[in-house]
Amino acid sequence: MDTLALSRLQFAITAMFHFLFVPLTLGLGWLVAWFETCYVRSEEAQYLAMARFWGKLFLINFALGVVTGLTLEFQLGMNWAEYSKYVGDVFGAPLAIEALGAFFLESTFIGVWIFGWDRLSKKAHAAAMWIVAFAANMSALWILLANGWMQRPAGYILRNGRAEMIDFKAVCLNSYGWLEFFHTVSAGWVTAGFFVTGVSAWHLLRKNQEELFKKSFGAGAVFARAASLLLAGAGDRSGVNAAKNQPAKFAAMESVWETRTAAPYTLLTIPSLSGEGNYVEALKIPYALSLMAFHSPNAEVKGLKDFLPQDRPPVLPVFLGFRTMVALGMLFILLSGLSVWLWHKDLLGKYPLFLKLMFFAIPLPYIAIQLGWLVTELGRQPWVVYGLMRTAEGVSKTVTPGQVWLSLGGFALFYAALGAVDVWLLAKYAREGMEV
């Protein structure tokens, strides 16, 4: 493999590993802050126990999220120097602002929350977690505005052999970035909701601290339910957005080859492994694809044959990733809805099988999120900045394949070890239950 392929693989691995930890952080912070606020208001010790228990899990997860984020910042310069030079004027600004405006707050107040139990009033201590949760979600906004610019460049001109910013407002109000933001944070909240319901379900099955874990289950379920509906909305808008701004990506998501108006949605599609077209296209719903793409039954949907082969993203992984993600997203609405209902009717104890199911559902949002990012970033190919710079043009010129082999091997071993320790710690602390 050459430096390009290796660097892409390395970025994919390190970004996906980073994103095993970020989603839970995005959601669980709000829940911990909420539990602690309940404690401040009611003075009931059980809420304190809940805040502390879920807070501990939050921290174990948070630690690796922070350190693996550093890798991504370094890597842009290390492996993607040409890209960094070409777009730094525009792309660097949201990154710098993220560090200054959001990450500083997050990292400062997480320390205050961990160590400040006896040094702050109860209210101020709870406020520290609200700040952490807010700052974490703000971080996501700035990073996704940067990513949104790669998907749909705006507010720049090409000058002096690079992209230069001329309109920061256009960068900040980029609809692509905002949709990614809502899509990503709501997915993170779903992850946290399923994590809390799943861990609670495990304890409820064993009749451990039932009152505490019932309360946690309820909070997680309601949160997951609300977030999964928001997620569906954001997902729908993202589909429209892709169809409008990145037609090749949208065509790959649905494996559509021929351009046509009033396009039907094909329920059963099997893309051909080599060459163009699909082996199987069956069970068509008339107008559905045009509706999905443009919210209009007769709209024209572009097919992949409209693009030169070198301008198409890899179809199979984008197509499969998208279908699986959407199916999982619908499952989240169903499962979280059932969870809320059973919890509300106080029927959880009667359906141990459902509790077991919710425990095994913990990984599902993680899988959906990883697939979602595969669709987003593979679907952007062959561009690193859509329509502006090809991925192959962005890679560092001075870095040799040997160097990347070494770093890639290092990351693989190192991350596998860190990930294993972190998951083991999470499981250990989750099993121990709450301190009362």
| Tokens representing residue 421 in the block | 């320790």
Sign, CA torsion 152/242/383/93: positive
Q: Which residues contact 5 (CB under 8 A, 6 or more apart)?
A: none
| Binding of residue 1 to other proteins (CB under 8 A) | no
Which residues are paired to 156 by β-bridges? 165
Q: Which residues contact 368 (CB under 8 A, 6 or more apart)?
A: 187, 324, 325, 328, 329, 332
| Binding of residue 431 to other proteins (CB under 8 A) | no
Q: Are 195 and 24 in contact (CB under 8 A)?
A: yes
| Tokens representing residue 389 in the block | 């710079």
Nearest approach, Cβ of 257 to other proteins (angstroms)? 39
Determine the Cα–Cα distance for residues 23 and 227; give it in Å rounded to an integer.
12
Determine the Cα–Cα distance for residues 115 and 103; give it in Å rounded to an integer.
19
Nearest approach, Cβ of 145 to other proteins (angstroms)? 13
| Tokens representing residue 125 in the block | 């201590």
Determine the Cα–Cα distance for residues 107 and 273; give it in Å rounded to an integer.
47
Among residue numbers 318 through 357, which ones bind other proteins (CB under 8 A)? none
Nearest approach, Cβ of 327 to other proteins (angstroms)? 35
Show the binding pattern over residues 56-75: x = contacts other proteins (CB under 8 A), - = does not: x--xx--xx-xxxxxx-xx-
Number of residues forming the site for other proteins (CB under 8 A): 75
153: left (phi over 0), alpha (psi -120 to 50) or beta: beta
Show the binding pattern over residues 141-170: x = contacts other proteins (CB under 8 A), - = does not: ------------------xx-x-xxx-x--
Nearest approach, Cβ of 94 to other proteins (angstroms)? 8
Determine the Cα–Cα distance for residues 257 and 278; give it in Å rounded to an integer.
8
Longest dimension (CA), the chain: 69
Selected from 108, 121, 261, 298, the binder of other proteins by CB under 8 A is 108
Selected from 4, 9, 16, 107, the binder of other proteins by CB under 8 A is 107
Complex with other proteins: residue 310 or 398, whichever CB lies closer: 398
Determine the Cα–Cα distance for residues 312 and 385; give it in Å rounded to an integer.
14
Selected from 5, 45, 96, 267, the binder of other proteins by CB under 8 A is 96
Complex with other proteins: residue 333 or 418, whichever CB lies closer: 418
Selected from 79, 186, 255, 391, the binder of other proteins by CB under 8 A is 79
Amino acid at 191: T
Determine the Cα–Cα distance for residues 344 and 43; give it in Å rounded to an integer.
24
The H-assigned helical ranges of 152-209 are 168-172, 175-205
Among residues 47, 91, 53, the alpha carbon closest in space to that of 72 is found at: 91
Candidates 97-105, 179-187, 198-206, 356-364: pick the segment binding other proteins (CB under 8 A): 97-105
Complex with other proteins: residue 270 or 399, whichever CB lies closer: 399
Nearest approach, Cβ of 406 to other proteins (angstroms)? 8
Nearest approach, Cβ of 194 to other proteins (angstroms)? 24
Work out the end-to-end distance of the chain between its first and last CA atoms, rounded to an integer number of angstroms: 55
| Binding of residue 283 to other proteins (CB under 8 A) | no
Selected from 5, 421, 431, 436, the binder of other proteins by CB under 8 A is 421
Among residue numbers 378 through 407, which ones bind other proteins (CB under 8 A)? 396-399, 403, 406-407
Selected from 4, 12, 16, 92, the binder of other proteins by CB under 8 A is 92
Nearest approach, Cβ of 82 to other proteins (angstroms)? 7
Complex with other proteins: residue 393 or 422, whichever CB lies closer: 422
Selected from 13, 16, 112, 299, the binder of other proteins by CB under 8 A is 112
Nearest approach, Cβ of 197 to other proteins (angstroms)? 23
| Binding of residue 412 to other proteins (CB under 8 A) | no
| Binding of residue 114 to other proteins (CB under 8 A) | yes
Determine the Cα–Cα distance for residues 55 and 48; give it in Å rounded to an integer.
10
Which residues are paired to 271 by β-bridges? 278
Candidates 95-103, 226-234, 242-250, 376-384: pick the segment binding other proteins (CB under 8 A): 95-103
| Binding of residue 8 to other proteins (CB under 8 A) | no
Determine the Cα–Cα distance for residues 261 and 256; give it in Å rounded to an integer.
12
| Binding of residue 409 to other proteins (CB under 8 A) | no
